[in-house]
A and B are shown apart, each in its own frame.
Chain A
């Protein structure tokens, strides 16, 4: 997380019209908007593609690599409140969210677009911190913001700032990852602890304080996915012969948490999924917060964790690759895919019973007592 704006990066030959906050004029298409782009966005996201400054950015086909690869394309909007929370902020989420969506198809993310909807009155300093965080996040994830847009809405019509990002990535040959690819006999892996992000945001939003600060797990998962794909790609290998791709499904467990992801995959693949509650890593402080609020950690959002379904034979190799990566140190196998109870997710409970883990109904509501 970036605590202070890095003002060093701002080249500012002329002051930004002296406005300490966003005003309607910043979205009016005139000088003020040009200033905002020239002095804030362009230097922060500086790269040759954004530098084209055209209505659209031209991306040379050579950027997308070799024959047999495919393109992945996605979009996501970010409306989080508060804008800054322990362990992250809306800017990092906007970059990592889209990067992670691309990575979940096994793609290497390359370019993002960034659309900003700013609320009149947003402090310029806040926007600066968010843009700086996005620039740092792009660097960490190895992506470029190649095109962008800014609009300003009247005070009271937005939550300070909304960001939309779209992204393009390249799926290498020999990778076939999709939600409908799970097969009976596959194993289910998670890359680490569940529920950190949701509880971190909730603790700030609701003013809940715990003995230890719970931080969001916001992180770009493309590096981890690359490491996993590297050891399990399909294709023809001189010694081993033809080998099918071993990773069948990937999902970042965002809204709805682990429960929503497992349900989506089981429904899309028409298979059953079983997991043991005790195998799912959950931080004690997250668990404690959930117990206190009457929430189930399996339904809480993550922003830097993935769920993978892979062939059992390669699971050990993939797990090893995950654990060797910084973001997968706590990776574990939590369960398996079965032909029984198709489209249902069943958890083995701590006391040895079983229960169906259903899709969440709507907003998570804390219980009364």
Chain B
């Protein structure tokens, strides 16, 4: 698939400026770039789980969404879009609608990995023709940085605070992309903001135009929750990929494909160091925590490479 950065970035915005998301928010970057995957002229209905994105872009009486948009509740973005897509099929069948619509829903990791997991699983298993996009910033940011099952090990969050008896979150993060791939849906991909958004753009377009259910997991850093210097977001994302903490891959019709392998895999501490939520890992005496973290990254990377090699 060819990619022209300038052309892609100059497509008409489908999320209007003037919304109330934080400056430098990864969620908004994810949304704008996913929507650039829509072909001009195609209509869309956008779904949204409760979270920062919803409360900041559709504050009555204002909406930032150029397309039709529905927010229902926190845990049911999958089911809600299932109903919208069902309505589309029914109205088409009855000859009441001729236009082409695409269905894309956004949820944070709380609304996707945790409370919305059942609803997401149902929508994926039923293979509705929709895309579920998780903008994964690894915690419940809207309610004030509480841990989710997407939060990485050792992260300092407001419900896994670092203290004399605590090194942050004790558990590893859930591998949601693999879980959704196990639903046998036609398209699953993991991506973030690298390569001038080429990877994200190509995967968004594929996800939107693959018939059936598709799932995109996008690492979308949150400057407040991660506590890095806000303008450094692109560097943070790059380090996520170059350390193999956040590998870029696709699962197409059950086939695992590794999209990028760093020439020189960087140590994960390069990704962790700029983030305040991992500050305690760099204290003297905590070297073993960094080692543990590195071991987990290595284990997952090797497992991913194994999956991708079996094609």
Partners in one complex: no
CB within 8 Å of B: which residues of A? none
